[in-house]
Each structure stands twice: as structure tokens, then as C-alpha cells.
Amino acid sequence: MWLPLIGMTALPHIGGIYGGFITRKQVKTWYTTLNKPSWRPPNAAFPVVWTCLYTGMGYGSYLIWKELGGFTEDALVPLGLYGLQLALNWAWTPIFFGAHKIKWAMVEIVFLTGTVGATMVSWYSISRTATLLLAPYLSWLCLATTLNYCIWRDNPETKEE
């Protein structure tokens, strides 16, 4: 059963790699022009943090999948919520860094954070370990949501359409 373990643990990294391509150029150009709070993490922290978070969430999804016997009817809600949060996670970078839509990225990350919370609630009775693997992710999203808000607030000259 190594294939599901490896595949499910690696899956979140696909969107992370794609997001990295979008972000790489923008961090050196557009992002440098924005007013950002002094407490924001250094740019070098983001790839390290996201690698850890993607690995944890992916492994957590494997634990849920394994505990529920695969993609069963019982897995529909917990893995469906997981899939939804993963899609929302992958969508944030193209909205913020690709389209420069700070306000829409803010709206999106609020939905993402709520969906991660709902995913954790749905996972709790199945695997506390899997749920705890999402805790650092939820914490980071709270930081990222606050950062997104501050950037939106402090850059009023950025016109949102």
C-alpha cells in the first residue's frame, strides 16, 4: 500500500509547485512594490513552511482514506472537504500573485481557512492524528489571512476590478 501513501502525501505539492512558478517572478517585481507589515515572515520562509504543510496535509488525507477503507461513501464528506480546501489552496496564488487581485484573494483565503476548519471537524472522529496534522496549516492560514488583509488595507492604490 505504498502507492496511495506516496500519492496522497505528494498530491498537495502539485499545486505548490505550480504556485511557486507564479510566485517566483512576482516576489521580485510586483510584490516588492506593496506595503507590507513589519511582522511578515521573510520570503525565504514560505517555500519551507509550505513544503512542511503540504506534506502534513497530504499524509493526513492518507490516514483518513486508510481509516475509512478508501474512497467509500463514509469518506465522501471528510475527503470531499479536503479536496475543496486543496482546490481553494491552489487557487489563492494565481488570484493574489498572478492576477494581483488582493481583495479577491482576501475573500478566497477566508473561505479556504473556514474549509480547513470544517475539514478538521470532519476528521476529528476518524483520526485525531490526521486532524492534528492540519493544526499547523490552520495556524499558518490565520497568519496568511491577516497578512493578506493588511496588504489589502495598506495598498489602497491597487485598483480591484
Q: What is the pLDDT of residues 39-93, one digit of tens each?
A: 999 999 999 999 999 999 999 999 999 999 999 999 999 999 999 999 999 999 9
User: Grid cell 505504498 — which residue?
Assistant: 2
| Spatial distance between the Cα atoms of 141 and 53, rounded to a whole number of angstroms | 10
Dihedrals phi, psi of 34, to nearest 5 degrees: -85, 150
Amino acid identity for residue 71 in this structure: F
Task: Tell me the domains of the chain and their CATH numbers.
Answer: 2-154 (1.20.1260.100)
User: Grid cell 511557486 — which residue?
Assistant: 20
Q: What is the pLDDT of residues 90-124, one digit of tens each?
A: 999 999 999 999 999 999 999 999 999 999 999 99
